[in-house]
Amino acid sequence: MRFGFHTIHFSPMFGGNGALLDVIAATAAAGFDAIGIDLPSVEAHVETGGSVDQVADAIAGTGLRCTDVLVVVAGVEDDVLTKAETLGALAESIGAPACIAAVGAPVPWPALVRSLRECADILGGHGCRLAIEFTPYSALGTLEEAKRLCGEIGWDNAGLVLDSLHFFRSGAPWDELDDLTPDQLLVVQWNDVLDAPTGSLLDESRNRRLLPGDGTLALTELATAMRGLGFDGTVSAEILSESFRRSDPATAIRATYAALTGPAAGWLTAATG
């Protein structure tokens, strides 16, 4: 099993201000194998005089792999194809095999399939697959819908984001996992929360996530189910939290790695054997 972190934790997308190259360096120093990159962090880096080549060199120089870039949002972005081209070029530059896509507002199903299929074609020209994320507060709210969307786009060009929070909060039946293959799980995001959201699901998702083991999600059972599918890829932290993004990045990244790999992570070690 390999472990990843993501620059979205300290991204200006949600009000963070972590310096991109420092986050990359701290991710490698903590022991992570991989990192995901969000476009707003790259844009902030470039606006202060940096370059995409510096980002690519920083990733390669630390020995990290890049898991993904994000994000294309169907339904709210008028320039979704332009965004796909921008992210595809970024993915090609830094070696990312996947680009995450979400559905931000209701779109007629045929138009949604057509739009994301065109995005997938653009990304494919850069050697990158579309990774479809379902979230229970969005217009694509279930694993079942995400699987259907991938099937209509074509699994060769698209796959799934499986986020532990969204899996449980959407109430996905366990048997929805049964027909998946490891290559269909492009991005796996791991995190925890307490029993019930204290506010909206959107607020919980962006501001109240916890380190694995600090909450009450049935992570052992989910990890075991994924291993039963033959999954042995990268598990990436997704600890979107107001307190987390305001903390010292290096300290928070070390704590995240410890939560994923240390003695307290029996939920994972039990599943991986």
DSSP states along 53-103: HHHHHHHHHHTPEEEEEEEEEETT-TTHHHHHHHHHHHHHHHT-SEEEEEE
> Is pLDDT above 60 for 272?
no
pLDDT reported for residue 268: 62
> Is pLDDT above 70 for 273?
no
Per-residue pLDDT band for 1 (boundaries 50, 70, 90) equals confident
User: Do 11 and 46 meet the contact criterion of CB atoms below 8 Å apart?
Assistant: no
Closest CA to 39 of 78, 91, 113, 95: 91
Q: In one letter, which amino acid is 60? A: A
CA 32, 37, 188, 231 dihedral sign is negative
Q: Distance between CA atoms of 170 and 166, rounded to whole angstroms? A: 6
pLDDT reported for residue 77: 76
Per-residue pLDDT band for 85 (boundaries 50, 70, 90) equals very high
User: Do 99 and 91 meet the contact criterion of CB atoms below 8 Å apart?
Assistant: yes
pLDDT reported for residue 265: 63
pLDDT reported for residue 35: 98
> Is pLDDT above 70 for 98?
yes
Segment 219-243 shows an average pLDDT of 94
Closest CA to 30 of 210, 211, 256: 256
CATH architecture of the domain covering 2-272: Alpha-Beta Barrel (3.20)
Q: What is the reported pTM? A: 0.95
**Cβ atoms within 10 Å, residue 123:** 28
pLDDT over 70, % of the chain:
96
pLDDT in tens, 22-74: 999 999 999 999 999 999 999 999 999 999 999 999 999 999 999 999 999 99
Q: Distance between CA atoms of 114 and 38, rounded to whole angstroms? A: 24
* Coil vs helix vs strand at 259: helix
Domain locations in the chain as residue ranges: 2-272
pLDDT reported for residue 197: 79
Angle at 226 between CA 221 and CA 230, to 5 degrees: 140
